[in-house]
Amino acid sequence: MANIKDIAKAAGVSVSTVSRVLNQHPYVSKEKKEAVLEAMRQFHYQRNMNAVHLSKGKTFLIGVIIPFTNHPYFGLLIEGIANEAVKNNYKLVIFQTNYEEERELEALEMLQTKQIDALIICSRSVDWSILNDYIQYGPIVLCEDAREHPVSSTFINHYQCFLDALNYLYEHGHRKIGYSLYRKTGTNSTQRERAYRDFLQQHGLPFQESYIFYNCLGFEDGVKVVERLTTLEDPPTALLVTNDILAAGIMTYCREKGITIPHDLAIISFDNQPIAKIMHLTTLEIPLVEMGKNLFLQAIMSKPSAHKEIQVKLIERETV
Amino acid sequence: MANIKDIAKAAGVSVSTVSRVLNQHPYVSKEKKEAVLEAMRQFHYQRNMNAVHLSKGKTFLIGVIIPFTNHPYFGLLIEGIANEAVKNNYKLVIFQTNYEEERELEALEMLQTKQIDALIICSRSVDWSILNDYIQYGPIVLCEDAREHPVSSTFINHYQCFLDALNYLYEHGHRKIGYSLYRKTGTNSTQRERAYRDFLQQHGLPFQESYIFYNCLGFEDGVKVVERLTTLEDPPTALLVTNDILAAGIMTYCREKGITIPHDLAIISFDNQPIAKIMHLTTLEIPLVEMGKNLFLQAIMSKPSAHKEIQVKLIERETV
DNA sequence: CTGTTAGCGCTTTCAC
DNA sequence: GTGAAAGCGCTAACAG
């Protein structure tokens, strides 16, 4: 495999000239440039990126930690990140973790050993105490409110969002409101839970354990939710569902069970993905692509600890 | 950030000695080794992997191309690959392609520029004519029958499998048999299609376009299948379903539609994942973890063009 | 515009 | 056991 020296020799120039055409520097004469290009062609020359990385001290690789790659929520987030990465000539290394800490640590180690320049954590499960050890090795940016930590973050005020949604439901006459969540733990889940408790207390409403649905993520989990709903003797009249896909699953299964929406059950969800429109879902629009873009930009900025709160918009349709 | 020189100086040894303890070479005196270790601790030393990669000429990174990371089929395959990777001290770089050629090309380019040592393609969409250009840069191993190409492969004889399954159904009295597939194209799909045609011809059965279901992959796609099934005036009495998850979706939806299995509709699927047992699915067991292991081993072997056919086993349960 | 040269950080002979 | 030194392939002053 030919290297830069071989090309230089073959083209009758110095390595720096080759390097210049490699990096599209200006000020290379047309003839020499042509000669170099020709030599490259002949030798099937390919840059050894490891050498480039070592020399430059950076890899132009950004790690992205996500629990699942296939869920539309993360899909859109990645899309936002990836779009911006392409623009800035970066590549992405995706770490799908399934929320296993081991996987997250692998990513952190790659940051430590300079195999990636920065790390975007879309959903964290590793503890802050561990994460803190790694911020010295490169930018780590989070997709949760991390204003109290020395990293950057792009986030949504899930507390306020949940509260707004709950109040919206309250205004529409609902007093028995439940919600779904994927994880019990995690910053976002905690914020939402707190909002729920505060809302209840504020309106003097009782807390009903059975109104909360965990481990709900995909369309198929709708079955699970509705199934339990039907066993409740005093079921909620409204549900806050944390993503459109799940909401669609719930709606679909409700239809089969003869539960009318919004008459028997009101639903308000999050994201405003395409499916939300089709299902006429009232939903809180989260600009995921924009969030992704911002996450990426924070990752390549050297500025430490930038924080950006993303605004959410209520889209009123027909499920409340 | 301290480098190997700093450590050498601090420990009062040469860089080679540091390198030796770094790589756990034998023949380093206890005292020096301790001194080096201590210096590393003090400086929070971290190896720069790019330098290692450059020096060694390899990265210990294997690329894995899959269309979706979240589908259990690919999940298990990756598990098999990852298990073996850990044992051999390799890391994986996952490229989720959604079957976009652009993504596959990115992976191939990383092979070309030595950012990964080898590439495992679990499901290919890029054309062979393109792929061939890249085999010079490093091992490429396929998860499809590639015996006619100068790469390694671990594969299933999908033609035979499909034929066996069809004949099994035939023996159970079925004459109207349909099947599901995700992609219309792709080596595996083509093989299966051919088996179906041959089966039909062999038994003098008519070809029914409407018995074939494309774009079926996940649980939720079951709805789609059943929906169409119900519109058919002469529906198939049996279905060959290409994975357990989809089969489970079909079964679930059938139940709601009052279609009894196997009385009204027999189902035989593939994979034998946990869900298959719960649903009492008759299925063809594919040892995905074993396949993954073999794929990985082929990727790190220098032997060119090894090919291994994996055997499939019929698990008889209650859906036929 | 172009070439020389000193790194980037680590590995690996080779000699002692 | 240990160290000196020559790479690995490329970049980026610096000098001309």
Q: Which CATH number does the domain housing residue B38 bear?
A: 1.10.260.40
**Contact A282/A320 with Cβ under 8 angstroms?**
yes
**Contact B184/B214 with Cβ under 8 angstroms?**
yes
For residue B83, being part of any structural domain is answered with yes
Dmax over CA atoms of chain A, in Å, equals 86
The β-bridge partners of B141 are B120, B152
Chain B residue numbers with beta carbons less than 8 Å from the beta carbon of A112 are: 46
Give, in Å, how far the C1' of D10 lies from the CA of A27.
19
Does A256 score more than 80 pLDDT? no
Dihedral sign for Cα B126, B245, B212, B144, please: positive
State the nearest Cα–Cα gap between A48 and chain B, in angstroms. 5
C-alpha span between B168 and B190 (Å, rounded): 21
Q: Which helix (H) or strand (E) holds B267?
A: strand B266-271
**Contact A33/A89 with Cβ under 8 angstroms?**
no
Residues 6+ apart with CB under 8 A from B25: none
C-alpha span between B136 and B320 (Å, rounded): 48
Chain A residue numbers with beta carbons less than 8 Å from the beta carbon of B114 are: 46, 48-50
Query: pLDDT digits over B122-161, tens only?
Result: 999 999 999 999 999 999 999 999 999 999 999 999 999 9
Displacement of CA B91 from its chain's centroid (Å): 16
- Provide mean pLDDT across the span B25-49: 90
Report CB contact under 8 Å: A115, B50.
yes
For residue A318, being part of any structural domain is answered with no
For residue B218, being part of any structural domain is answered with yes
For residue A320, being part of any structural domain is answered with no
Say yes or no: B19 and B101 in one domain: no
Report CB contact under 8 Å: B96, A69.
yes
Sorting pLDDT into bands at 50, 70 and 90, what band is B227? very high
Burial readout A221-243 (b: 16 or more C-beta within 10 A, e: otherwise): bbbbbbeebeeeeebbbbbbbbb
Report CB contact under 8 Å: B68, A69.
yes
Say yes or no: A87 and A39 in one domain: no
Say yes or no: A124 and A61 in one domain: yes
**Contact A141/A151 with Cβ under 8 angstroms?**
yes
Say yes or no: A162 and A150 in one domain: no
State the nearest Cα–Cα gap between A274 and chain B, in angstroms. 17
- The secondary structure of A105-151, three-state, reads HHHHHHHHCCCCCEEEECCCCCCHHHHHHHHHHCCEEECCCCCCCCC
For residue A52, being part of any structural domain is answered with no
Residues 6+ apart with CB under 8 A from A61: A90, A91, A92, A93, A115, A116, A117
- Provide mean pLDDT across the span A85-114: 90
Say yes or no: B149 and B253 in one domain: no
Q: What is the predicted pLDDT for the residue at B218?
A: 84
Task: Mark the nucleotides of strand C covered by protein, meaning any atom under 7 Å from a CB.
Answer: 1-5, 7-13
**Contact A288/A80 with Cβ under 8 angstroms?**
yes
Residue nearest to nucleotide C5 (CA to C1'): A16
Does A276 score more than 90 pLDDT? no
What pTM, to 2 d.p., does this model score?
0.87
For residue B317, being part of any structural domain is answered with no
Say yes or no: B151 and B162 in one domain: no
DSSP percent split of chain A into helix, strand, coil, nearest 5: 50, 15, 35
CB contacts under 8 A, A 40-59 vs B, are 44, 46-51, 53-54, 59
Q: Which CATH number does the domain housing residue B82 bear?
A: 3.40.50.2300
Q: What is the predicted pLDDT for the residue at B84?
A: 92
- Provide mean pLDDT across the span A109-113: 93
C-alpha span between A280 and A248 (Å, rounded): 10
DSSP code at position B71 = S
Query: pLDDT digits over B165-185, tens only?
Result: 999 999 999 999 999 999 999
Containing domain of residue B64, as a range? 57-156+289-311
Beta strand ranges found along chain A (DSSP E) = 61-66, 91-96, 118-121, 140-142, 152-156, 177-180, 212-213, 238-241, 266-271, 282-285, 307-310, 313-315
Of A59, A69, A91, the CB nearest to B70: A69
Closest residue in chain A to residue B222, using alpha carbons only: A220
Residue nearest to nucleotide D2 (CA to C1'): B17
For residue B319, being part of any structural domain is answered with no
**Contact A116/A182 with Cβ under 8 angstroms?**
no
For residue A191, being part of any structural domain is answered with yes
Residues 6+ apart with CB under 8 A from A274: none
Query: Tokens for B186?
Result: 């792709």
Residue A96 burial by Cβ neighbours in a 10 Å radius (0-12, 13-18, 19+): buried
Report CB contact under 8 Å: B91, A110.
yes
CB contacts under 8 A, B 133-162 vs A, are 136-137
Of B46, B69, B114, the CB nearest to A49: B114
Query: pLDDT digits over B290-311, tens only?
Result: 999 999 999 998 777 899 999 9
- Provide mean pLDDT across the span B71-77: 89
Sorting pLDDT into bands at 50, 70 and 90, what band is A108? very high
Residues 6+ apart with CB under 8 A from B233: none
Sorting pLDDT into bands at 50, 70 and 90, what band is A242? very high
Say yes or no: B138 and B20 in one domain: no
Average pLDDT of chain B is 92
Number of domains in chain A: 3
DSSP code at position B147 = T
Say yes or no: A95 and A68 in one domain: yes
Say yes or no: B176 and B267 in one domain: yes
**Contact B105/B83 with Cβ under 8 angstroms?**
no
* Contacts of range B168-172, beta carbons closer than 8 Å, 24 or more positions apart: B168/B268, B168/B314, B168/B320, B169/B238, B169/B240, B169/B266, B169/B268, B169/B320, B170/B199, B170/B203, B172/B238, B172/B266, B172/B320
Task: Mark the nucleotides of strand D covered by protein, meaning any atom under 7 Å from a CB.
Answer: 1-5, 7-13
Length of chain A: 320
**Contact B111/B265 with Cβ under 8 angstroms?**
no
Give the C-alpha distances (Å, rounded to integers) separating A296 from A49, A79, B278, B279: 22, 11, 43, 43
Say yes or no: B169 and B259 in one domain: yes
Q: Which of A159, A166, A164, A125 is nearest to A142 (CA)?
A: A125
